[in-house]
Structure 1
Amino acid sequence: MSVNTSIGLIGVAKQADKATPAPAPAFVHGLTGGQTFKLDRSVESANVSCGIRAGTDSYVSSVTPGVDFETYGYSDVLPLYIYAAMGNIVSSSNDSGASYKHVVTLGDLLPYLTFWGRIGGEYTRTDGCKVDQIEMDFEGNKPLGFGITAIGLDAELGLAKFPGEIDPSCFDGYYVPTGGVFKVETAGSSPVVAPVTKGSLSLSNSCAADPLAGMVTPADVAEGKLSTSGSVTVKPDDMALYRKMITGSASGKKPTGGMVYGSFDWEFTHSKNPKHKMTVSASRVPFTCDFPSVDPEGGAAELDFSFENVGVDSRGGSPVTFTFENDTASYVG
Structure 2
Amino acid sequence: MSLNKLISNLAIAEQTAQGTPATAPTYIVPLVGSGAVAGVSPTVTIDEETGQTYAINAYVEEVATGFDAPTRAYPPVLGLLLKGLLGTVKTTAAGDTGGLYKHVFTVSPTDMATPWCTIWGNMESDEVKTTDAKVGAIKISFEGNKPLEIATTYAALGASFGADAARPKGGTEMAGMKYLTPNGCEVSLDVAGASLEARKITKFELEMSRNVNPEYFSGSPLPGDLSMGKFEGKTTITVKPSNLDDFRKSITGKADGTTVLGDVVEGAFKVKVKQGDASLEIEASRVPFAVNWPESDAGGGAVELELAADNLLGTYEAGPITITLTNDVASY
Q: TM-score, normalised to structure 1's length?
A: 0.91
Q: Which amino acid aligns with 2:306?
A: D
**Stretches of 4+ moved more than 4 A in 1?**
45-49, 51-57
Alignment-derived partner of residue 134 in structure 2: 130
Q: Which amino acid aligns with 1:153?
A: L
1:289-316 per-position Cα deviation (integer Å, ceiling 9, x unaligned): 111232232222111111111111x323
Secondary structure class of the residue paired with 1:153: strand
Distance 1:96 1:170, change over 3 A: farther
Distance 1:58 1:244, change over 3 A: closer
Residues 264-275 of structure 1: matches in 2 within 5 Å?
A: 264-270=269-275, 274-275=276-277
Q: Is 105-114 or 170-179 further displaced after alignment?
A: 105-114
Q: Which amino acid aligns with 2:113?
A: L
Residues 1-333 of structure 1: matches in 2 within 5 Å?
A: 1-32=1-32, 33-45=34-46, 47=48, 57-96=57-96, 99-107=100-108, 108-159=112-163, 161-188=166-193, 190-270=195-275, 274-312=276-314, 314-331=315-332
Distance 1:169 1:177, change over 3 A: same
Ranges in structure 2 where 5+ consecutive residues have no aligned partner: none
Q: Is 238-247 or 15-24 further displaced after alignment?
A: 238-247
1:180-213 per-position Cα deviation (integer Å, ceiling 9, x unaligned): 1011110126321112111101112222111111
How many angstroms does 1:20 deviate by? 1.0
Tell me, in whole angstroms, the C-alpha distance in 1 between the residues paired with 2:194 and 2:125: 50
Q: TM-score, normalised to structure 2's length?
A: 0.92
Distance 1:40 1:71, change over 3 A: same
Distance 1:181 1:53, change over 3 A: closer
How many angstroms does 1:227 deviate by? 1.2
Tell me, in whole angstroms, the C-alpha distance in 1 between the residues paired with 2:251 and 2:328: 43
How many angstroms does 1:142 deviate by? 0.3
How many angstroms does 1:236 deviate by? 1.6
Contact 1:112/1:130, CA 8 A, preserved across alignment: yes
Distance 1:267 1:52, change over 3 A: closer
How many angstroms does 1:35 deviate by? 2.8
Q: Which amino acid aligns with 2:137?
A: Q
Instruction: Tell me the number of residue pairs that the alignment of Structure 1 and Structure 2 aligns.
Output: 326
Contact 1:38/1:68, CA 8 A, preserved across alignment: no
Measured on the aligned residues, the alpha-carbon RMSD in Å equals 2.1
How many angstroms does 1:57 deviate by? 5.0
1:3-47 per-position Cα deviation (integer Å, ceiling 9, x unaligned): 211111111011111111111111111001333342131223484
Ranges in structure 1 where 5+ consecutive residues have no aligned partner: none
Q: Which amino acid aligns with 1:263?
A: A
Tell me, in whole angstroms, the C-alpha distance in 2 between the residues paired with 1:179 and 1:70: 23
Contact 2:9/2:35, CA 8 A, preserved across alignment: no
How many angstroms does 1:238 deviate by? 1.9
